[in-house]
């Protein structure tokens, strides 16, 4: 796997991760008004075998009712494919972390942040690709956090709730016009990527077998955001004021990391002496909860210039990366840090808080997000979708 996009002679289904030639796609007729039998029974319409292998047709005629249809489905799992499938590069971002690490709240706040602030700063826009994404984001993520100011409930295992296996799929398109155009990749007019976000249930990361079957996107991912709850670290728990509400201790963070590494190695045939080249953003979540343990002058308490200036602020990034790695190590995460560097080629440390407050007692949120965009922007920077600059 290289850090460039998957070649566009094939596409990957974002639901079952099977790989297909561009012409290997099926359609379904949606003409149920005229009582088309294909539409009623949901029969897949197959292309003729002589069709060009390297081209994805954008529509097809239904052999029953003669109407055209542009609803594409995956020939393997029959899920409806994003309508842009095959046209653009696909990025799959997986958010992983132990139970209660803060993944769901992070996704809720990140997507809103991208839609609002990142969009205007980087001249791009994030659009949901299908109704499932719109409804799921609204009901499971946006409404609790932004409308009701309540905590999101525990994500259920994908084994019992299949919607967990379904990604939130967006297209992120960059426009080159206007002032910000010059920050984009020089030789391209516009860049469009399809981004799939996966929220995992922490409990599905407790065994490699479950990870392999229900979390297949992890080893197919283009970027991993690994959330670490600082409140799980022994030294943090000991040093916080005695009345701080602490979550129950669960999975050892390094176990989860080694399980992830092993899974990726096995699935992609990467030997132990080679580094995995999926970029990993390790981010301390809930940084608000450990404020008292961090030097008030630390860079983590400020914000980078990313959003204000519309480029990835490399000077700030390096400061935060160094500071957070040192914190991880000094808080008892030495083994975690060593495992990370001996398994992954490209990784960086971040610190963020999605909520900016601890909702523990009354479950009510007073939203004050801080630095949630950093890992995401770093991944976009790694894929050369945004430009990085080092300015004082
Ligand atoms: N202080 C603080 N607490 C947070 C923050 N985000 C989440 N929490 C707390 O952590 C709990 C778990 O957060 P979730 O986002 O549900 O965690 P998760 O990783 O999705 O957990 P699973 O779905 O069980 O895997 C929440 O109920 C909050 O109490 C944050 O930014 N700051
Ligand atoms: Mg969750
Ligand atoms: Zn599929
Ligand atoms: Zn029809």
Determine the Cα–Cα distance for residues 48 and 202; give it in Å rounded to an integer. 44
Q: Where, residue-wise, is CATH 3.40.50.300 in the chain? A: 89-389
202 lines ligand 1 (CB under 6 A): yes
Q: Ligand 1, residues 94, 95, 105: which to mutate, most atoms within 8 A of Cβ?
A: 105
Instruction: Give the CA angle between residues 84, 87, 92 to the nearest 5°.
Output: 75
| One pLDDT digit (tens) per residue for the chain, 392 residues | 444 444 567 888 888 888 888 888 999 998 877 688 888 888 898 877 666 667 888 889 999 989 999 999 999 999 989 888 888 888 889 999 988 999 999 999 999 999 999 988 898 999 998 898 999 999 999 999 999 999 998 998 888 888 888 889 998 988 865 555 555 544 444 678 889 998 988 888 888 888 888 788 888 899 999 999 999 988 999 999 888 888 888 767 888 899 999 999 999 999 999 999 999 999 999 999 999 999 999 999 988 777 777 889 999 999 999 999 999 999 988 999 999 999 999 999 999 999 998 886 677 888 899 999 999 999 999 999 999 998 76
369 lines ligand 1 (CB under 6 A): no
Determine the Cα–Cα distance for residues 334 and 34; give it in Å rounded to an integer. 65
Tell me the CA–centroid distance for residue 237 and ligand 2, in Å: 22
Q: For ligand 1, atom 6, which residue shows the shortest CA distance?
A: 102
371 lines ligand 1 (CB under 6 A): no
157 lines ligand 1 (CB under 6 A): no
- Helix (H) / strand (E) containing 105: helix 103-113
Question: 371 is written with which tokens?
Answer: 């630095």
Which is nearest to 287 in space by CA: 210, 203, 201, 353? 353
pLDDT in tens, 333-368: 899 999 999 999 999 999 999 999 888 667 788 889
- Three-state SS for 157? coil
CATH number of 89-389: 3.40.50.300
Which is nearest to 97 in space by CA: 220, 239, 279, 280? 280
Looking at all shown ligands, the one closest to residue 16's CA atom is: 3
Q: In this structure, what are the phi and psi dihedrals at residue 389, rounded to the nearest 5 degrees?
A: -140, 150
What residues sit around ligand 3, an ion, with C-beta below 5 angstroms? 13, 15-16, 74, 76-77
Q: For ligand 1, atom 7, which residue shows the shortest CA distance?
A: 102
């Amino acid at each position: 796997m290289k850090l460039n996009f998957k070649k566009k002679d094939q596409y990957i289904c974002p639901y079952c991760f099977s790989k297909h030639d561009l012409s290997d796609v099926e359609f379904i007729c949606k003409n149920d008004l005229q009582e088309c039998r294909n539409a009623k029974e949901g029969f897949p319409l197959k292309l003729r075998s002589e069709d060009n292998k390297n081209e994805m047709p954008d529509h097809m005629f239904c052999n029953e009712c003669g109407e055209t249809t542009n609803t594409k489905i995956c020939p393997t799992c029959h899920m409806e494919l994003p309508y842009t499938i095959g046209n653009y590069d696909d990025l799959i971002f997986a958010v992983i972390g132990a139970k209660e690490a803060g993944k769901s709240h992070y996704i809720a706040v990140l997507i809103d942040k991208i839609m609002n602030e990142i969009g205007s700063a980087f001249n791009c826009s994030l659009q949901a690709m299908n109704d499932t994404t719109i409804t799921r984001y609204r009901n499971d993520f946006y409404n609790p956090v932004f409308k009701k100011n309540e905590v999101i409930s525990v994500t259920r295992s994908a084994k019992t709730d299949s919607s967990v296996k379904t990604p939130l799929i967006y297209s992120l398109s960059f426009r080159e016009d206007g002032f910000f155009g010059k920050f984009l990749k020089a030789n391209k007019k516009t860049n469009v990527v399809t981004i799939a976000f996966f929220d995992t249930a922490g409990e599905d990361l407790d065994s490699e077998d479950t990870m392999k079957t229900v979390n297949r996107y992890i080893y197919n991912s283009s970027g991993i955001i690994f959330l670490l709850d600082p409140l799980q670290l022994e030294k943090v728990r000991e040093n916080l004021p005695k009345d701080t509400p602490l979550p129950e201790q669960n999975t050892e963070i390094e176990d989860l990391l080694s399980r992830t590494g092993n899974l990726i190695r096995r699935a992609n045939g990467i030997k132990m002496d080679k580094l995995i080249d999926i970029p990993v953003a390790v981010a301390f979540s809930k940084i608000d909860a450990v404020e008292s343990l961090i030097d008030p002058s630390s860079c983590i308490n400020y914000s980078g210039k990313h959003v204000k200036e519309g480029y990835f602020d490399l000077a700030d990034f390096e400061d935060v990366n160094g500071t957070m790695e040192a914190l991880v190590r000094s808080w008892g995460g030495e083994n975690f840090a060593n495992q990370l560097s001996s398994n992954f080629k490209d990784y960086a440390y971040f610190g963020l808080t999605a909520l900016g407050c601890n909702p523990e007692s009354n479950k009510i949120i007073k939203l004050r997000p801080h630095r949630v965009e950093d890992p995401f922007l770093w991944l976009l920077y790694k894929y050369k979708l945004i430009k990085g600059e080092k300015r004082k």
